[in-house]
Amino acid sequence: MIASRGLVLTLYVLAAVIAVALPFGVGPLGVNLMLRAGSIVLLGISWNLAANAGLISLGHSTFWGLGSYAALLMADRLGWSFAASIVPAAALGAAVAVALAVITGRLRGIYFAIATLALSEGLRAMAVMLPDVTGGGAGIFISQELRPDARTVAIVTGLGAVGACVIAHLLSRTPFHYACRAMRNNEHSAQMLGINPLRIRVTVLALSGAIASFAGAVNIWYGGFLDPDIGFDLHITILAQIGPILGGINTLAGPIIGGLATLAISELSRSWLGAQGYSLLVYGAILIVAILYMPDGIAGALRRLRPAPPARSIGS
């Protein structure tokens, strides 16, 4: 189904309006959930962008943590405000991502993935071992005066998530999208088609890193406290992947649907079973079942339910 540009534009504007208005209509818990939903969507889109080009990241907490620490240190050492710190934090994420892309050169598949894992664990060790710079294991609180209203942060997160969707959407309309797909399938062959893999890698990773760092920075402004376990939490790496995989990797809606579904499962299982301590267990079980029986994710399962599209199809 190819919809008109107008319809798509309307839907995005609508989403943006909701992002701005929603925090005023729901209570504090709603704002918190909105923030978490926005974060998980941002992470999912970020991860998906890289995965689309064949770059599977097992260390996405790297960028989240970098963004968090950048924002924290700007607030704590330089006294910068929420608004001032966001862009530099995202820029740092992009810069490190570019460095990663250049350093890992032609590493593909599992080797690239392991490199990302190594980077995230290494950064966590550094955060712990350099307490004069990062506050170390004890962590740092953002001072009360600098902290913005929770609703403001939620709005920024929501708009950021919408913005990330727009970016991903626009990219999917350009030849860039096909270049990524080619790279995902076979990087050598892609080169023969005139694609410059390094340039694609750098672009993709820079975007991916910037978005994830943005998410980390915004989150720390909401949370008000950071230590290495929060910043470079393995949980974040997992979260970044579960959304796209559950929702359908390499689709536009996948990271969004999957991310929101993950949050919903997590919250529901916690509120129904939480007191018993079984919630993590159920979460893992659901993960297993979902991957076993929905290998193409929710988007894939939904696709199978729709009647077959006409001969010309854009979807992958």
Partner 1 sequence: MSLILQCLLDSVLLGGLYSLMAVGLSLGFGITRIINFAYGEFIMLGAYGAFFCSTLMGIDPLLSLPLVAAGVALIAAIIFQLCLGRALRAAPINQILLLFGVGLVLQNVAAILWTGDARSVTTSYSLSGEQVGDITISDGRVVAFLLAVLLIAILLMWLHRTELGRATRAVAQNRQAAVLMGINVTFIYLLSFALNAALGAATGAISSFLLTITPFMGFHMLVKSFAIVVLGGLGSIAGTLAGAFVLAFAETVVAYYVPEGIGWAEGVAFVVLLLVLIVRPQGILGQSEGVA
Partner 2 sequence: MRSGSVGVGRSLAALAGMVLLGGILSVAARADDTVRIGAPLELSGRFVTYGAQTKRGIEMAVDTFGGSVNGKKIEVLFRDVQSNNQDAVTAFIDLASQQKIDFMIGPVASGIVAATVPAWRQSKPLWIVPGSSSTQLEDGMKGENLFFHTYPWAYNYHDGTAEALAQVVGAGKKVAIIYSDGGYGREQLPWAKEFYTKAGFNIVATELVREGAADLNPVLQRLRQLKPDVLVGIVQTIDGIQLAKQVQVAKLNIPFLVGTAYPQLAEWSGALGPEAADGWIGATTYLPGMDRPADPTHPKLFPAMHDWEAAFRARYNRDPEFLDVTSYTSTMLLLLAIDEAASTDKEKVAAKLASLDVKTMLGSSKFAPTPGGAMHQAFGQMVVFQRQGNKFVIAFPADAADGKLIPRK
| Main-chain dihedrals φ then ψ at residue 312, nearest 5 degrees | -85, 115
**Which residue in this structure is represented by tokens 């893992």?**
284
Residue 28 or 105 having the CB closest to partner 1: 105
Query: Binder to partner 2 among 90, 260, 290, 294 (CB under 8 A)?
Result: 260
Q: Which does 310 bind (CB under 5 to 8 A by kind): partner 2, partner 1, none?
A: none
Tell the smallest beta-carbon distance from residue 228 to partner 1 (Å).
Answer: 12
Residue 84 or 126 having the CB closest to partner 1: 126
Residue 117 or 211 having the CB closest to partner 1: 117
Tell me the three state secondary structure of residue 76. Answer: helix
Tell me the three state secondary structure of residue 99. Answer: helix
Residue 7 or 292 having the CB closest to partner 1: 292
Q: Determine, following the binding rule CB under 8 A, whether residue 245 of this chain makes contact with partner 1.
A: yes
Q: By rule CB under 8 A, what string of x and - marks binding of each residue 262-301 to partner 1?
A: ---------------xx-xx-xxx-xx--xx--x------
Interface of this chain with partner 2, residues 177 to 216, rule: CB under 8 A: 177
- Cβ contact 224:76 at 8 Å: no
| Main-chain dihedrals φ then ψ at residue 23, nearest 5 degrees | -60, -20
Interface of this chain with partner 1, residues 53 to 72, rule: CB under 8 A: 56, 58
Q: Determine, following the binding rule CB under 8 A, whether residue 284 of this chain makes contact with partner 2.
A: no
- Cβ contact 255:247 at 8 Å: yes
Nearest residue to 71 via CA among 52, 56, 55, 84: 84
Query: Binder to partner 2 among 78, 192, 275, 305 (CB under 8 A)?
Result: 275
- Sorted by sequence, the CB contacts under 8 Å of residue 110 that are 6+ apart come out as 56
Supply the DSSP symbol for 141.
Answer: E
Query: Binder to partner 2 among 250, 262, 290, 297 (CB under 8 A)?
Result: 250
The tokens describing 292, both together, are: 């076993």
Interface of this chain with partner 2, residues 83 to 102, rule: CB under 8 A: none
